[in-house]
Each structure stands twice: as C-alpha cells, then as structure tokens.
Structure 1
Amino acid sequence: MNTVLVTGAAGFIGMHACARLLARGDTVVGIDNLNTYYDPALKEARLARLLPHPNFRFERLDIADRPALPELFARVRPTRVLHLAAQAGVRYSIDQPHAYVDANLAGFVNLLEACRAWPVEHLVYASSSSVYGGNTRLPFSEADAVDHPISLYAATKKSNELMAHTYSHLFQLPTTGLRFFTVYGPWGRPDMALFQFTQAILAGQTIDVYGQGQLVRDFTYIDDIVEGVLRVLDKPATPDPAFDPQAPHPGRGQAPYRVFNIGNNQPTVLMDYIAAIEAALGVQASKRLLPVQPGDMTATAADTRALAEWVGFAPGTPVSEGVARFVQWFKEFYAA
C-alpha cells in the first residue's frame, strides 16, 4: 500500500485523483492552501467528499512555504507524490504574474527539494498543453520544441519540466510531467468555459465567445485524466535507452524523466462545445462573439501515442457525454 501525497487536493483534478486513490486502497495525504483564486466554498465542498474516508488526511499548507514541506514529508513519509497544486489560468497570469512565480516556480522547487531529501519513488506533476504556445503544427507531440510560450502561465509550466529534468539528472529522482489538455467535468473550476457558459445560460445571460467561436480545444474528461494519471503514477519514469544526446527528444532523457501529453485526441471547435452545452441544458444561448484574448492559443490537439505506449491507455470520453455529466452535476450541486 502506498502513501501518496497529493498537492492541490481541494482542486478539481486533485479531488478526483484523491477519491480514486482512496478507492483502490492507498493512503492519501492531501494538502492545499485553499486560496481565493476562485470560490473557496467549492474547494471546501470537494474536501467534504474526502474527509470522511479513514485513509485520507488533509493539511492546509502552501507549497511556497519553504520550511513547511520538509517537515510534512518527515511526518507523513510519502512513497509517491502527485503534484497538482499551481496557480492556474492563462489570462490571470497577465495581471498577477507574481502569483505564478510564487506557486509555480518557488513552490515547485520547494517540492523538488523535499522529494530529493526524502526521497520518493516517483514524482508526477501537472504540466499543461499551454507549453506548446506558438506552435501551429497539430496534433502537438512531445517531440516538438516548446520554446515559444505566449503566456507567463505557460512559461512557468515549461520551467517546471526543465526543473524536474535537472533533479532527475542530478539526483536520479524519477519525475513525470503530464501536459493536460483542457480538463472538464463535474466539480470543475468556475474560471473554465464550461462552468461559465452553463452558469450564464441558466441565468439567461449572454455568453462571451472568444475567437469568434472558432478556437479549437482538445477537451479531456476528468475521469479519463485521472485514469491516465494513476497509471503513470504507478510506473516511475526511467531513462530512455534509445536517447540520443546528439538529437535529444524533449520528452525523455538519459535521466529517469518523462513528459507525456494527456488529451482526448478529438479536437473540438468551441462553437460545437457550446452546442453540446445547449443540448444538455435544452436552452439556446445568446452569444457575443469576441476576438481572441491575449495569451490564448487558437488551437490545441494532443498526440497521445506516447502515453498509450507507456501505460496502455488513451482518453476517449465523447464531449457530448462529458458535458452532459457536468451539466447534471451543476444543476444538482447548485440546486442544493
């Protein structure tokens, strides 16, 4: 039985991951700072689903608090770490850059140091499809260079991958980064399009549709994400025996280091995504078409072959099905 430390346990992906880990018999120690980036009441409600479990323990802790992490590791003795805590949001990073430096850079190196000192069997951390930035060749592959981020959020996530590789190389710490592609589903974040659109449509409000509704995203359902995350967590990164330092692959190396896309591999035009919401609600939305926002990518699509080869899994929940499940949750949760 593993003791898994999950950072960002009160978050969207964090809560679902904790629930799955507990269901399979792991001991889970969850940490979160419960910040006010969005309504903390939703985070508290997520936690309320986990706290009754006898194998779950929660501590309110900020990963940017350098002394707190080593002390926590010494007490809880994690065998594996799933790092999901971060300052999220592309647009928010334009106005609040220091929040990203504190959480995503300083916080991540604090965690790496704690994992190195303990040490742990495997560190799996959340990267993002945003690292592909100005790339336009689709689908995005882990073999692609990611040297042109178009938001500070993306730059911090690429930095996490570089920092992880350094620790894998210097200290033989197995690390795996997962580039999430627009995760959605029940208990989702209020700053995400699905939540905002559903809330506005039910209130009879006009929705703001950026990129004239022609943005493309590889929307990935939460259950698919968690299945992939757990499979990766159970398979610590190893050096790539075929790695060629004269033609280095960005997603692997001579160190125990891996990076994988985890997406639906079914890119969806934003207007079609909205149509799925309308169908689930039985309501036609009033739309305000707007240009692309600064920092937004025009299209994302995941090449998931490397993940499938590594752990034998590829996400596949249809958008229509996933959106319907979210809408059902939203109505039930906010009716209550």
Structure 2
Amino acid sequence: MSAPPMSVTRDQLLSVLDSYVHPLIGRGLVAAGAVARAEVQDDTAQVVIELGFPVQGISADLAQELGAKLNAELGLIAELAIGKRIDTHGARANLQTLPGIRNIIAVASGKGGVGKSTVAANLALALHAEGARVGLLDADIYGPSQPRMFGVSSARPTSPDGKRMNPVPAHGIQTMSIGYLVDEDQPMIWRGPMVTQALGQLLNETIWDDVEYLVIDLPPGTGDIQLTLSQRIPVSGAVIVTTPQEIALLDAKKGLQMFRRVEVPVLGIVENMAWYDCGDHRDYIFGQGGGERMAAQYGVELLGQLPLSTPIREQADNGQPIVVAAPDGEAAQTYRQIARRAAAQLAYGTPAADFPTIEISDD
C-alpha cells in the first residue's frame, strides 16, 4: 500500500470528520458516535457515517459537503456511505421497552381543534419518507380519526391467535386504532378506567414489527390517557402542537409542563395554522409568532411552522395525507424537516434525566 497524499493518518481523518458539525447534531461526527468506519487507503478516504435519525432527505447533501471538506483539507478522494442507526432513547429506568418498538413519540396538544391528528399522521409518514420503520397508534379513544385520514376506515385487524392483533398497514406504516374495532359513527361512552385499559390493550396487544418510531396521536388535554401514557409507558419524547392563538398557547403550555413533570423530554413545538397564504401576502388569522415565543420561553425547539391550508385539510379527509398526496410540495417538505428535527432532538438532544425531578402530590 502506497502512502496517501501528505502522509494523511487515520487520526487526521477523524479530526477533520469531528470538525464537521451538522446543525441537526450540534457536535462533531466523532463526538456524536456517528463514524462507523474511517480508513485511509492510498489517496482515498473510506468513510461510513451512521446518524441517529433517518437521513434519506439529507444524505446526498451531507455526502457532498463531507467529500468537499475531506478533499479541501486533506487532499483525499472520499468514498462515503451515509446511513442511520436508530437506537432506543428516553425510556425511564423503571419502564421496560415494549416488544417490537424502539422509540415512542407522543404528539399532544392542550386543546382540540389545533390540527394535532393531522400533524401526527403527516409526522409519521414523514419519518417513513425519511427511511424509518414507523408505526402510528391512534390513542384518541373517544374520537379516533386516523383510520379515515389513512384511507382505511373500513379495515379490520387480523389476529394470528385470537389474542393479539396485527397492525393495519397504510401508506407504508403500521397503524392501530379503536376505530378499526367499532363502527365509525359509534360513540365510545366509557369512563376513564375503561379508556386507559383500552389504550393499554391497543398498545400491548398489537404485534408491532420492528418499529423504530411509534407515533402516538393523543387526545387533547392532560387527563387520564396522557398521564397513563407518560407514567406507565416508555415514551421517548413528546411533540407539542399548537396554533399561534393565545388561548391555544395557554393550554399547550400546560401540556408541555405535564410532560416535563413526568420526565418525558419535549422534543419541540409545531406551530400549526401559522398563517393563511392569500397569494400576494400572508394573513396571520390566529396571531403571529406564538409558537416561536413559547419555544423560547420554555427552552425547546420550534420544529416547524405550517400554514392553514385547504389542500392539507382536503387530503386528510380523503385518506391521502399531504406527505403522501404531494410528496414534493412545500408542506410535505416542511413535515420532513419537522420529522428530521424531532428525531435528531431525540437522538442528540437533552435526555429526560437532565430534567429536574418534580414530585406530584396525590392531594
């Protein structure tokens, strides 16, 4: 083997790789544990990068940037492979991970009507579009909407043994909802304990198949289901959905504080219905910048802002969420950015252990 240009060593190669700080990671690639292989052979750097979040939407740009950097600083030709390695994150020490599920992301809102279910559906589909194995659990027992949003409202889950259920496949992801088990117009007239029992059955009796991210669409509020989920289930992180309206923000803040109290990391805030595009200008119907101010106030990330959009609403009603219906459109690309940011925050952000422990009194 001949010596590489300028006698480049592996340590020099690793040093250059660690000097590259991607904004979604916030630290060098070596420090982030993302360098799976780094070798110098002749005039070529052979590098394998494995990031802790799905990277399909950014892998080409990342490879180009790294290749240019290695060539400029070391004079090497780069043979780069960019992939993902999704580990399990955020589960508290007293909670066991669930079979077939690596990470659980709860999508919550303080109040109804802010588009939380639409965000949950498109977030799940965006994670899938980025290359992840994804499941979606519709935890809104009283008002399940995901079967219709995914165009499978007439589906019924199959069972291999009469005890467990196979998830219903839809648009490439694994889904489960109480809506698959009852008629669409049948009301669920249940008290709290029955609702939490139903949630536990839907989660634990579904045969999830190596799901890297299970997105859970929570009902609005901070009641029984939210507390059951956060205290008994190994939730990896939460995404808070709000509109810019002050009334919505008041309730969203309560939801955020609830997750912090039970030591579930808040991955960030999605500001939905942030504006309406009038063609020549934006009309901020529900106010402006509320989600951004809330993110700054609580020290969390603003994952993204989405418009009040007729196509987003229509496609959800038609069973073809916007990420599927118009994958190259602006809204779908925004959802994919939100998905990458949330997953990167889960992999590299502040862990739950760094939050202060707050005792909740039974009084």
- Normalised to the residue count of structure 2, the TM-score between the two structures is 0.37
- Normalised to the residue count of structure 1, the TM-score between the two structures is 0.40
